[in-house]
Amino acid sequence: MLGLAAIPAIVVAIGVMAMPESPQWLVMKGRLGKARQVLIKTSDNEEEAGIRLEEIAKSASEMTGENSSWNGQGVWKELLIRPTRPTRRILIAAIGINFFMQASGNDAVVYYTPEVFRAAGIRRRKELVGVTIIMGVVKTSFVLVSALFLDQFGRRPLLLLGTAGMALSLTGLGLGSKFLERSAHKPPWAIALCVVAVCADVSFFSIGLGPITWVYSSEIFPMRLRAQGSSLAVSVNRLVSGVVAMTFLTISRKISFGGVFFVLGGIMVVATIFFYFLLPETKGKSLEEIGSLFGDKFTSRGREMSAR
């Protein structure tokens, strides 16, 4: 099982070798011609590529100023010790979305699906494998839904839909699990509820938190703070993932699977509220426009977007 994981790793390594540097990095190094070539490949036409290059060059010049040899000095102080109000809000948004992505328990649910289904009354090996395959197919299918419609509907609607859907799914899974824990006969409807709820949970994750976390947290930081800010947010992501994975079974033995799912459902309710009030829409926004979204007028703008 571990050896097979080397195959996609090799494919990714080959793909990275063919992947160009980001236009932002190329502009910072003064390689404007190469940056323009990359932008032409990722833009609808050369005119759009030229406009994007001008925006990136402007941001790079503001970031470095007269210091052409700038290598990130003072960024950690600006992020953590003396952040401006917009920077603080950007950092809270990035860390928050990465925290809730893993605090949702999605990874743990996927890791321990067989244990969850055994507790739900599905005992046979073939049935366990079959249900797990169904869950994987459903999860993958809804990743494609998000990929196709993310730029059409925007980040906020899909994110709010995903977290609210996960809250309902986890609550349903908790109810079904609690009923089965107290029932000796394991009625089929309760087992079916658990299976449907698990599939719904991973589907809503694939629509919202799964893909949007990486898109959103990578695009909201200004160029000056992007590398360090993104690394900090991803560190929180991996730390919470490890904690949830290592404690899921232990906590479930203490309060049962049903209890764990109720807790996760409550976390998703908090996540929905957090995203509604603190994460503005970034679809189609330039670097400068995204920075202004987190300015002093963010609250009123967020309400206007919600009203629309």
- What are 98-152's pLDDT values in tens digits? 999 999 999 888 888 777 777 766 777 887 788 888 888 888 888 888 888 888 8
**Which stretch, 36-45, 244-253, 266-275, 277-286, has highest mean pLDDT?**
266-275
CB 209 within 8 A of CB 100: yes
Q: What is the pLDDT of residue 302?
A: 46
Indicate whether 260 pLDDT > 90.
yes
49, exposed or middle or buried, with CB in 10 Å at 0-12, 13-18, 19+? buried
User: Which of 225 and 273 is assigned the larger pLDDT?
Assistant: 273
In CATH, which of 1.10.3720.10, 3.40.50.300, 3.40.50.10190, 1.20.1250.20 is domain 85-296?
1.20.1250.20
Q: What is the pLDDT of residue 300?
A: 45
Q: What is the pLDDT of residue 72?
A: 59
Q: Where are the alpha helices (DSSP H) in the chain?
A: 6-18, 23-28, 32-41, 46-64, 75-76, 85-103, 106-111, 113-120, 125-153, 155-181, 188-207, 209-219, 226-278, 287-293, 298-307
Nearest to 232 by CA among 220, 244, 248: 220
User: What's the chain's average pLDDT?
Assistant: 85
Q: What is the pLDDT of residue 303?
A: 44
CB 143 within 8 A of CB 211: yes
Q: What is the pLDDT of residue 250?
A: 92
Q: What is the pLDDT of residue 12?
A: 93
* pTM assigned to the model: 0.83
Whole-angstrom Cα distance, residue 28 to residue 40? Answer: 18
- What are 12-45's pLDDT values in tens digits? 999 999 898 988 888 888 888 999 999 998 888 8
Rounded percentage of the chain residues whose pLDDT exceeds 70: 91
User: Which of 153 and 97 is assigned the larger pLDDT?
Assistant: 97
Q: Side-chain half-sphere of 247: how many Cα atoms within 13 Å?
A: 12
Domain span(s) for CATH 1.20.1250.20 in the chain: 85-296
Supply 82's token pair: 């003396």
